[in-house]
Structure 1
Amino acid sequence: MCGIIGYTGKLAAAPVLIEGLKRLEYRGYDSAGLAVVADEHMYQVKSVGKVAQLEAVAGQQPELKKLAGCGIAHTRWATHGAPSTLNAHPHLDESGRFAVVHNGIIENYQELRKHLEGKGVHFRSQTDSEVIPHLIAGAYEGDLLSAVAAALKQLDGTYGIAVISSLEPGVVVTARKGSPIVIGLGEGENLVASDIAALLPYTRQVIYLNDGDIAAITADKVDLRNIQNVPVEREVAKIDWDAGQAEKGNYPHFMLKEIFEQPETIENAIRGRIDHEMGTAILNGMNLSPRELALINRIVIAGCGSSMHAGMLGEYYFEDIAGISTSVEQAAEFRYRNPIIEPNTLVIPISQSGETADTIAAVREATAKGAVVTALCNVVGSTIARESGRGVYLHAGPEISVASTKAFSSQVVVLLLFALLLGRNRRLSRSEGNELADQIEQIPELIRSVLLQAPEIKKIAERYADKEDFFYIGRGCLYPTALEGALKLKEISYIHAEGYHAAELKHGPISLLDERHPVLALANDIPGKDKIIGNIQECRARKAPVVAVITRGDSAVRSMTQDVIEVPPCSRFIAPLPTTVALQLFAYYVAVARGCEVDQPRNLAKSVTVE
């Protein structure tokens, strides 16, 4: 879950590394550090806290700003060892000639550490990562790539690493196994990173490493091999993201920017994917013929967090629109519970980054069991996209805030498009398909109308910013929406928030309700609204404050509670999207009112690349 950046080329390395870390900080912000090799010397700077702290410490060494050469840097999300300067990366061997940054978990590090200590090696940190530079130093015989390969063969677990040595100035060695690494190809310079966001200012040409790949990178060459030291070839891919998409612009936070980008990102997800002549969707990346689609008799969706909530909406869509039995699995449990994969089962892994470790494991388990696997990802060339071999890209652009907003809404839209495709393949008439297609195309405008209400939502949010507990309730397609709304609130405001199916209120949670426990009720004018009204009355009878999301013009529900958030009229399948945007704004403004770190909430990181 940590961020890695490496550079070799004509520029001073340290400023490039620090700017790269700023673009990667959503991957971890417990501590940060960098190491630079110049004039055959190793220079290192580390600090606790965010990248700004590292930049301040590095500023006390003005020569760092001028040292041309190569370097590596890291922003950490702590696993082994608490956040501290000693535990921050890069880690060095005892001689100070080899430096390593590492993302992943070394499962046999205790055994390796004990072995190295028996040989007289002294460790400075409590991390699992520190064994790596010591192993490299012990294996070095004049070739850094060979030494790194020899060290990696002794490791059990996962890694994405970058290595430099004062013995080989200008060389960065990188490798991956279960943790993402991408090489950026420049002119007179090359880079390596754990995420393409760090590469955007320098190049659009990249190479995604596969598990078992190792590469030696200089300013004008990439020597790519496998762990057995055999040369391999990997495709050069082109990034279609713009560097400006990874900047805040005039917004105070990335989260607010990404909330307001949703009309455009959803338009990107829809563009070119609706066929009005046939009343269906066009999803060429699925690479499934109409006959193959017709053979699918069961769908299993795997995801974590917001992606799992999107998958829960997909379950409603596939069953109600296409008539296909669907289940949603927590990706972390998928491979451990020996899932039943029957013939003609389609497995859909969902991951914004395409690098979520648990979802990658689910992809491999599903593939091993003979399922057809087709992925929903936002990052071209990501592990899940490549290993699935088929799927749909979200085209949402880089999502920097840790709390997912635009990626979630794009996932839901793509699932709805897929349900339309399957529905037309089975039981929807062309006119019914076109009716749903028209509704899908209206989603961006529906969301724009919600965004116009941001000032009113802000006022309501500020009235509830002092609460410490919140219940979210919904029914039908708005049940997963309630779960997602509660997740957003707890992620960024640190309020204990729980989402429930409204029917479950009477089965336990209602015992907690009083004037200190507000309820956010999704009372849109769709099937199930009458039941939600009953739930609102039950909450009011117990003096619980109620915030209601209602369909514009609904005076009946408005009369029941002081605080209402209006969304435009739409069908039950479309309702989760404008409703979700309203809940995102509510969570955002609550967090701002509480003075929370909106984009980088405590203990969280954007991409969960370790299990």
Structure 2
Amino acid sequence: MCGIVGILGRGPVADQIVDSLKRLEYRGYDSAGVATLEGDRLERRRAEGKLKNLETRLKSEPLAGHTGIGHTRWATHGKPTESNAHPHATDNVAVVHNGIIENFRELRKMLEKEGAKFASETDTETVAHLVNSYLLKGASPQEAVKASLPQLRGAFALAFLFRGHGDLMIGARRGSPLAIGHGDGEMYLGSDAIALAPFTDTISYLEDGDWVVLTREVGVIYDAHGAVVNREVLKSGASSFLVDKANYRHFMAKEIHEQPEVVGHTLARYVDMATEKVALPAKLPFDFGAIQRISITACGTASYAGYIAKYWFERLSRMPVELDVASEFRYREAPLRKGDLAIFISQSGETADTLAALRYAKSQGLHTLSVVNVPTSTIARESETVLPTLAGPEIGVASTKAFTCQLMVLAALAVAAGKARGELSDADEAKLVRGLIEIPRLMAAALATEPQIEKLARDIAKSKDVLYLGRGTSYPLALEGALKLKEISYIHAEGYAAGELKHGPIALIDENMPVVVIAPFDRVFEKTVSNMQEVAARGGGIILMTDAKGAAEATIESLVTIVLPDMAATFTPMVYAVPVQLLAYHTAVIMGTDVDQPRNLAKSVTVE
């Protein structure tokens, strides 16, 4: 999650860009840089470390251009050095980038064969050389970007400058957000409205797949198919000190749509994408080989993240895992083995029951590790090891992006455990890491199901009860789906392991009972299909969330199918969480409830 700013100004823009980047520094502080156009010259200034280092550089080596782009970086590919800092450039084009280009290795090899010379370890420089390759063949800047974007695989936001084109800037988004700021004879690009608040309150948001050609007077927006489109121009209430809803009706909707970006940000903290290895940000004070059992403790949605992690740890590291809700664990005086590992998961890091469980585990001599979104929280401070999620502020009470970021951290940790215990080979680790790297792009693709889900929610809103079913890691996600629907729509819902259907819950099935089945095409898919047939035989309406192969195999009447992208089975919960969240959200909107602040609930439960 890096920060992007672009300005087509009427005077020198470098200082304005740096001021705007300060409002985005929470997005990354490994390095920063600015590129401007001055006459026919494309010039850059970059610096390792925090923005103050770039400010110092610009004082001694100022930039006078009236057109510029800037970037504050969270390192993904390559170390946080000046050579890896953005903007990346050739003689003809400069680019800043937020996100991940998954296929950069293949593109880099192709471009090197064509004679491109690379100066960094980053995926971003590949984009600069790809666009440059078309410019060298005589393409216009607009033609070069249009030809390049379909070749990029991943979730990203981009902003480009072109030598000799002082009244031109091009931006593009796929998965990561990008906003256009409209001024008087000036135009702007930014990762969010907060960055642009000092310059303008008139904002347009690019939709997924859009790209825009900006001049000082106008912005022409194209969709993913190349058609010119209009996007609503809004008055933003953002300031440099406020979290903004952007163009979303609720914070929850914004936070659902932020997931490709923030999960990618978290991913970058926990894996080395260049070597395809897990690279935990903290040195662990224990050896996974000496751990005999893991205890995972959390509350609510965080406990379901832990439940999914239980499957991952047991399968990938062959280590037994116990899962407890913190309110039970703290009082049942569980026997614990000194030297084993206890993991605590909390968005706020202040959850009272989880904190009490942590203190109990410490008193029993366990190693303690916390997964939290607030690294200064009490749980973080009192844990032996802290693995932060990088979800950013989550305002909606019902957790969405914090949940999927927790899953990303736990997935990386499970892979690390499997590798440390000799259960995973180097090739196994690389395959799993490649699967993790794909997640932000796949989440962005899953968001494309929203129109279908919004329509479906109209029927769900008429129901009094809803069942959610799943097997394997989809079972805890079924529990989470039911919780989400209860939390914000107030419709009664329950999640079950699909194999348990015939052991009681099937008595509830009739023509008025929607049944949401979460079933990627995996080794237990056929078993889940048999459960769906049991529901169909009793008149229940089935909503199946699966992939293309699953949709083709599940030929059952009374079936509505949400088709999600194909992916390896191991990490499906992070992607399938998206439609589960969207279904709850749109049902609640139709019901007219207070989505962001549902009744009787608080964001952080700091009392028993």
Deviation at residue 523 of structure 1 after TM alignment? 2.3
1:318 aligns with 2:313: yes
Contact 1:276 1:434 in 2 (8 A): no
Q: What is the identity, as a one-letter code, of the residue corresponding to 1:379?
A: V
CA distance in 2, matches of 1:559, 1:499: 21
| Alignment-derived partner of residue 501 in structure 2 | 505
Q: What is the identity, as a one-letter code, of the residue corresponding to 1:463?
A: D
| Alignment-derived partner of residue 461 in structure 2 | 465
1:540 aligns with 2:536: yes
Q: What is the identity, as a one-letter code, of the residue corresponding to 2:596?
A: D
Q: 1:400 to 1:276 in 2, by over 3 A?
A: closer
Q: 1:243 to 1:603 in 2, by over 3 A?
A: farther
CA distance in 2, matches of 1:248, 1:463: 27
1:442 aligns with 2:454: no
CA distance in 2, matches of 1:452, 1:605: 30
CA distance in 2, matches of 1:258, 1:354: 19
For residue 414 of structure 1, the aligned residue among 389, 409, 417 is 409
CA distance in 2, matches of 1:286, 1:465: 48
Alignment of 1:108-123 (within 5 A): none
CA distance in 1, matches of 2:557, 2:510: 17
| Alignment-derived partner of residue 452 in structure 2 | 456
Contact 1:246 1:399 in 2 (8 A): no
Q: What is the identity, as a one-letter code, of the residue corresponding to 1:297?
A: Q
Q: Deviations over 1:300-329 (max 9, x none)?
A: 000000000000011001000011111101
For residue 586 of structure 1, the aligned residue among 583, 586, 589 is 583
Deviation at residue 293 of structure 1 after TM alignment? 2.5
SS of 1:339's equivalent in the other structure is: coil
1:285 aligns with 2:282: yes
| Alignment-derived partner of residue 476 in structure 2 | 480
Contact 1:286 1:392 in 2 (8 A): no
Q: How many residues align?
A: 369
Q: What is the identity, as a one-letter code, of the residue corresponding to 2:581?
A: Q
Contact 1:525 1:551 in 2 (8 A): yes
Q: 1:279 to 1:450 in 2, by over 3 A?
A: closer
Which has the higher relative contact order, 1 or 2, with Cα contacts under 8 A spaced 6 or more apart? 1
1:263 aligns with 2:260: yes
For residue 401 of structure 1, the aligned residue among 385, 396, 400 is 396
1:433 aligns with 2:432: no
Contact 2:350 2:377 in 1 (8 A): yes
Q: Deviations over 1:150-201 (max 9, x none)?
A: xxxxxxxxxxxxxxxxxxxxxxxxxxxxxxxxxxxxxxxxxxxxxxxxxxx9
1:385 aligns with 2:415: no
Gaps of 5+ in 1: 1-200, 202-241
Q: 1:422 to 1:364 in 2, by over 3 A?
A: same
Q: 1:542 to 1:266 in 2, by over 3 A?
A: same
SS of 1:271's equivalent in the other structure is: helix
For residue 549 of structure 1, the aligned residue among 545, 548, 567 is 545
Alignment of 1:126-141 (within 5 A): none
SS of 1:248's equivalent in the other structure is: coil
Q: Deviations over 1:549-598 (max 9, x none)?
A: 12125223255443111111122221111111110001101111111111
Deviation at residue 245 of structure 1 after TM alignment? 7.2
| Alignment-derived partner of residue 54 in structure 1 | none
Q: Deviations over 1:90-124 (max 9, x none)?
A: xxxxxxxxxxxxxxxxxxxxxxxxxxxxxxxxxxx
Q: What is the identity, as a one-letter code, of the residue corresponding to 1:466?
A: K
Q: What is the identity, as a one-letter code, of the residue corresponding to 1:475?
A: R
| Length-normalised TM-score, structure 1 | 0.59
| Length-normalised TM-score, structure 2 | 0.59
| Alignment-derived partner of residue 298 in structure 2 | 303
| Alignment-derived partner of residue 333 in structure 2 | 338
CA distance in 2, matches of 1:568, 1:390: 35
For residue 606 of structure 2, the aligned residue among 601, 606, 609 is 609
SS of 1:473's equivalent in the other structure is: strand
SS of 2:518's equivalent in the other structure is: strand
CA distance in 2, matches of 1:245, 1:531: 49
| Alignment-derived partner of residue 109 in structure 1 | none
CA distance in 1, matches of 2:338, 2:275: 29
SS of 1:327's equivalent in the other structure is: strand
Contact 1:403 1:488 in 2 (8 A): yes
CA distance in 2, matches of 1:319, 1:245: 42
CA distance in 1, matches of 2:330, 2:553: 48
SS of 1:606's equivalent in the other structure is: coil
Contact 2:470 2:497 in 1 (8 A): yes
CA distance in 2, matches of 1:255, 1:416: 24
Contact 1:279 1:424 in 2 (8 A): no
CA distance in 2, matches of 1:286, 1:341: 24
Q: Deviations over 1:130-151 (max 9, x none)?
A: xxxxxxxxxxxxxxxxxxxxxx
Contact 2:533 2:556 in 1 (8 A): no
CA distance in 2, matches of 1:417, 1:251: 31
Contact 2:269 2:280 in 1 (8 A): no
SS of 1:337's equivalent in the other structure is: coil
Q: What is the identity, as a one-letter code, of the residue corresponding to 2:428?
A: E
Deviation at residue 345 of structure 1 after TM alignment? 1.1
SS of 1:395's equivalent in the other structure is: coil
Q: What is the identity, as a one-letter code, of the residue corresponding to 1:598?
A: V
Q: 1:549 to 1:558 in 2, by over 3 A?
A: farther
CA distance in 2, matches of 1:280, 1:339: 35
